[in-house]
Amino acid sequence: PAAPVAPPAPAAPPAPAAPAEVSLTKSRPVSLSKGQKVTLRKDGGVALTYIQMGLGWDPIEKRGMFGNRSANVDLDASAVLFADDNMVDVAYYGQLTSKDGSIRHQGDNLTGEGAGDDEVILVDLTRIPPHVSTIVFIVTSYRGHTFEQVKNAFCRLVDTTSSAELARFTLQGGMPFTGMVMAKVYRVGGEWKLQAIGEGIQAKHAGEAAPQLARFLGV
């Protein structure tokens, strides 16, 4: 008798498509999705030189017998600088300026109260040392609250020279992590690009976060 014919192997599911790279325009800020990339050029192809990363959040209000109250959530924004896979510097509440002066943290916000950016990190792309390949922007919870107690966490890219918002990435839903990798700015050839990340880590400060960032450094 003829040998039985093996059924065809099931086709592998297609890999999810990466979000398309988008362009920046001053007139309409780009709303980024997780993983999306933008090249840091303005309208007309001019490279951005001075940018600021604004990070914000709101504590979730809890209803109690004596009215509503917000959890006392102290989140901290940090910029961690890497030369390939090696961390070489950081700008955060304990060191507001990177050693080379290219990145300046505008100071600590202890509550997240109020509208707009809660913490701002200024980046002079013209002064980033040549060996620095990636800047990772993270938010960590100093008192150990998780992002389940936070809403409306976002990061936004602003062209410092014009104060125009160019891109915004908003986290949807709280996650059981004490740290969040929001975005990275990295070199590709002679250009800088931004990528929205939005992945959780367990870290209360930049020192705890740094060893966990290697997986976000690939292009």
Whole-number pLDDT of residue 49: 92
Inside any domain, residue 145:
yes
Confidence of residue 100 (pLDDT cuts 50, 70, 90): very high
* Tens-place pLDDT, residues 117-161: 888 999 999 999 999 999 999 999 888 988 888 888 889 999 998
Q: Residue 13 domain-assigned?
A: no
Q: 53: domain CATH number?
A: 2.60.60.30
188 belongs to a structural domain: yes
Assigned domain for 193 exists? yes
Residue 175 within a domain: yes
Domain coverage including residue 34: 30-216
User: What local confidence, expressed as pLDDT, does residue 217 receive?
Assistant: 92
In a domain, 184, yes or no: yes
Q: Which residues touch 156 (CB under 8 Å, ≥6 apart)?
A: 29, 53, 54, 55, 56, 117, 165, 167, 168, 169
Q: Residue 170 has which token pair?
A: 């908003």
165/25 Cα distance (integer angstroms): 9
For the stretch 15-40, pLDDT in tens is: 556 567 887 876 778 899 999 999 99
The answer as to whether 83 is a domain residue is: yes
Q: Structure tokens of 45?
A: 């192809």
Q: How many domains does the chain have?
A: 1
Do the Cβ atoms of 24 and 41 come closer than 8 Å? yes
Q: Quote the CA–CA distance of 195 and 151 in Å, as a whole number.
A: 21
